[in-house]
Amino acid sequence: MMFNRKKMKQIAARLDGEPQYAGRPAPTRESALQEYEASLLQLRRAAARVPRAPEINDAHVDAFMQGIREGIETPAPRLSRLWTMASVAAAALVLLLSALAYLGTGSEPVRANEVESAFTELEGVTVNFYNNPQGVSTVQVTMPESDLW
């Protein structure tokens, strides 16, 4: 298989006209290599029949440049006003909803010094809390005297 690949590369290089293989006879005694060479020749003939893309020569340059000038001078359709108005409307809607959410809740007194609950997972330790009339909360942790922190 490896030798066939090398021979296939040599056949392709010879058909492409590479100088190192020029004038050499075709080493295609095997039917698989003969089929490969035939398919390459068929592909080459088919590629030669494909029409070439039109080329711009000196006679076509004026018309070509005229088309470019027309494309540059013709303004593109403008939808930017529509997108601008839609963007402004969306931003205004976001600001309005944000202001309503912020201002609509009203002012509520902050009670950050009031303890609502206290607990512990330590064995033998109890936690109590007290709120006095001045608004000061006290948390008392009681633990057995034999335990150390």
As given in the structure block, the two tokens for residue 60 are 């076509």
CB-CB contact of 8 with 33 (8 Å):
yes
Of 12, 39, 40, whose CA–CA distance to 27 is shortest? 12
Distance between CA atoms of 95 and 101, rounded to whole angstroms? 10
Is 69 or 113 the better-scoring residue by pLDDT? 69
Query: Is 127 part of a structural domain of the chain?
Result: yes
Residues 6+ apart with CB under 8 A from 44: 15
Residue 127 above 70 pLDDT? yes
- What's the pLDDT at 147? 59
- Domain of 123, in residue numbers: 115-149
- What's the pLDDT at 24? 67
pLDDT digits (tens, 9 = 90+) for 72-118: 887 777 778 888 899 999 999 999 999 888 887 767 766 666 777 88
- What's the pLDDT at 134? 80
Query: Is 107 part of a structural domain of the chain?
Result: no
The count of domains in the chain is 2
- What's the pLDDT at 96? 94
Q: What is the mean pLDDT of residues 124-132?
A: 84
DSSP type of residue 135 = S
Query: Is 25 part of a structural domain of the chain?
Result: yes
- Domain end (from 49, 72, 87): 49
Query: Is 82 part of a structural domain of the chain?
Result: no
Query: Is 119 part of a structural domain of the chain?
Result: yes
Mean pLDDT (the chain) is: 81
What is the dihedral angle through the alpha carbons of 61, 64, 70, 75, rounded to the nearest 10 degrees?
-130
Distance between CA atoms of 21 and 28, rounded to whole angstroms? 14
